[in-house]
Amino acid sequence: MYLRPAEKDGRKFLNPIPTSLGSFTTMLKTLPKFFLGAAERSPKTALGPFHTDARIYATFPQSGLRVTWFGHSSLLVEIDGVRILIDPVWDERAAPTTWAGPKRFFSPTLGLRGLSAIDAVIISHDHFDHLGAETVRQLAQTESTRLARWITPLGVGATLAGFGVDPSRCSELNWTESIAVGPVTVAALPARHFSGRSLFNRFQTLWASFVLAGPGHRVYYGADSGEWPGFSEIGEKFGPFDLAMLEIGAFDPAWASIHMGPDGAVRSFRALGGQGLLMPIHWGLFDLALHPWTQPIERISAAEGLKLWSPTPGAPTEVVPDLELRSDWWR
């Protein structure tokens, strides 16, 4: 019912259900929050440093599933013998310039050249906090990604090519399309969000969530999305998931249709089937919203009846069935 290819209205892709980004009036209402709560939206003291021990990547995980969370939505997923880098942003700022815009709370935990061989790079959409220009430029010239398959939603390949990615290595997927990366199938699925790297090209490239389905494990990467009824169908068709990665940060009631927040993540996880572990993403690295920076993780940590999996930034960590992980690095 909800899982179908994306449709367009002229040059613009449409969300799976009708979605509003808010109005000028909504923006005016949020301005007082923007100015009054600035002190709490970033850490008061420096975080880290956090370090990734790259020697761990010399061997694949015994469990068959290991995840390194680099902060926000940047991840390395090692699943059933395949290494997939997701939404890598090593840039100093999640912004179109290097001198202004949301700045990282902590430095990258590992240099890009320290990565082991990557089989695929997934870019969920073209927003700056998911597609870092300088990061992609470096990866395009890095030995670890020389043979990697770049997987994106429709239209994002041109942006990657502009940053140096070989177009022959890029596969653009519509919703419900998939591609094999070794024994792992990567499927692009709908998400309720939007795209654009300026005010003038919104919706002109597609955005997506992804399922990584291997012979032994299944992972759902929700990317950026508001709540929508399709989660139940995703769970029924592609689940159960060992790990469901859902966004919790950059949330405000004014834009709940495109960012689900911690409460929405709990509901969406349960709609997906509620099995396995919930990994909070899209938090802890950039000031992109109006809430205190720890509010999302505090709120979801307080949810009852939830098996949470939240590792320390940069730590390659094996996913063990039903074994919770609640790192308190952010306290």
Where do the structural domains in the chain lie, given as residue ranges?
48-318
Separation of alpha carbons 307 and 244, rounded Å: 11
DSSP output for 4-64: ----EETTEE--SS------HHHHHHHHHHHHHSGGGSS-SS--------GGGGGS--TTS
By residue count, the chain amounts to: 331
| pLDDT given for residue 259 in this prediction | 96
| pLDDT given for residue 22 in this prediction | 65
Fold exhibited by the domain 48-318: Metallo-beta-lactamase; Chain A (3.60.15)
Separation of alpha carbons 208 and 212, rounded Å: 13
Q: What are the pLDDT digits (tens) for 37-54?
A: 566 899 999 899 999 999
Q: Say whether the peptide bond before residue 108 is cis (omega within 30 degrees of 0).
A: no
> Looking up tokens 């929405």, which residue turns up?
264
Query: 303 in helix, strand or coil?
Result: coil
| pLDDT given for residue 302 in this prediction | 96
Separation of alpha carbons 297 and 207, rounded Å: 25
| pLDDT given for residue 13 in this prediction | 98
Q: Which pLDDT tens digits describe the chain residue by residue (331 residues)? A: 899 999 999 999 999 999 988 654 555 555 555 555 566 899 999 899 999 999 999 999 999 999 999 999 999 999 999 999 999 999 999 999 889 889 999 999 999 999 999 999 999 999 999 999 999 999 999 999 999 999 999 999 999 999 999 999 999 999 999 999 999 999 999 999 999 998 889 999 999 999 999 999 999 999 999 999 999 999 999 999 999 999 999 999 988 999 999 999 999 999 999 999 999 999 999 999 999 999 999 999 999 999 999 999 999 999 999 999 999 999 9
Q: What are the pLDDT digits (tens) for 173-229?
A: 999 999 999 999 999 999 999 999 988 899 999 999 999 999 999 999 999 999 999
| pLDDT given for residue 220 in this prediction | 98
Cβ(181)–Cβ(120) below 8 Å: yes
Q: Please count the CA atoms within 13 angstroms of the CA of 331 that sit on its side-chain side.
A: 5
